[in-house]
């Protein structure tokens, strides 16, 4: 997949829940050219709060391990409110059962860090165009 693909997500929004600021900056830079509206949460509690205030968010990129409230707990709460929003688990601590656990908690997809920007955009696009 070439990074020359141009995505126009100017009418879409994403919530990025990641406590590592350098991860967020890399993701934000990859997404900038798509014109998607970005919300950022630094922990699961913020992710839940931002989702409650912005229920029309189109997709969520959820780090699994965060302070305050983890990504799985935040996903479980969001799923109790919205069964359809795509939630992509995103973690640097890829253990053999992490993907299965993320799916059990309601995630729709799973990406391990680090990730190539073109792969990340492709995965997000798959969920935005379903």
Confidence of residue 97 (pLDDT cuts 50, 70, 90): confident
Asked if the structure places residue 112 within a domain, the reply is: yes
Res 3 pLDDT > 70: no
Q: Where does the pLDDT of residue 94 fall: very low under 50, low under 70, confident under 90, or very high at 90 and above?
A: low
Rounded mean pLDDT, 50-55: 97
Sheet strands (E) in the chain: 13-17, 37-41, 59-63, 87-91, 109-112
Per the domain annotation, does 22 fall within a domain?
A: yes
3-state secondary structure of 33: coil
CB proximity list for 41: less than 8 A, separation 6 or greater: 15, 16, 17, 18, 47, 49, 50
Q: Average pLDDT of 67-71? A: 90
Tell me which residue range forms the domain holding 31: 13-128
How confident is the prediction for the chain on average, in pLDDT?
Answer: 91
What is the tally of structural domains in the chain? 1
On the question of pLDDT at 4 being above 80, the answer is no
Phi, psi of 41 (to 5 degrees): -120, 140
**CA 109 from centre of chain:** 9
Query: What per-residue confidence (pLDDT) applies to 1?
Result: 41
User: pLDDT tens-digit profile of 7-43?
Assistant: 999 999 999 999 999 989 999 999 999 999 999 999 9
Asked whether residue 39 is assigned to any structural domain, the reply reads yes
Q: Is residue 6 part of a domain?
A: no
Answer whether 107's CB lies under 8 Å from 62's CB.
Answer: yes
Residues linked to residue 59 through DSSP beta bridges, in sequence order: 14
Whole-model pTM: value is 0.93
The enclosing domain of 51 has a CATH number of: 3.40.50.2300
The answer to whether 32 touches 25, Cβ cutoff 8 Å, is: no
């Amino acid at each position: 997949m070439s990074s020359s693909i141009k995505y126009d997500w100017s009418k879409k929004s994403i919530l990025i829940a990641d406590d590592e600021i350098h991860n967020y900056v890399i993701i934000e830079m990859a997404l900038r050219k798509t014109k998607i509206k970005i919300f950022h949460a630094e922990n699961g509690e913020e992710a839940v709060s931002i989702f409650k205030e912005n229920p029309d968010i189109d997709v969520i990129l959820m780090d699994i391990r965060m302070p305050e409230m983890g990504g799985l707990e935040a996903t479980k709460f969001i799923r109790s409110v919205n069964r359809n929003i795509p939630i992509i688990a995103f973690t640097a601590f890829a253990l053999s059962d992490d993907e299965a656990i993320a799916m059990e908690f309601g995630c729709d997809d799973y990406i391990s860090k680090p990730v190539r920007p073109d792969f990340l955009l492709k995965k997000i696009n798959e969920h935005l165009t379903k």
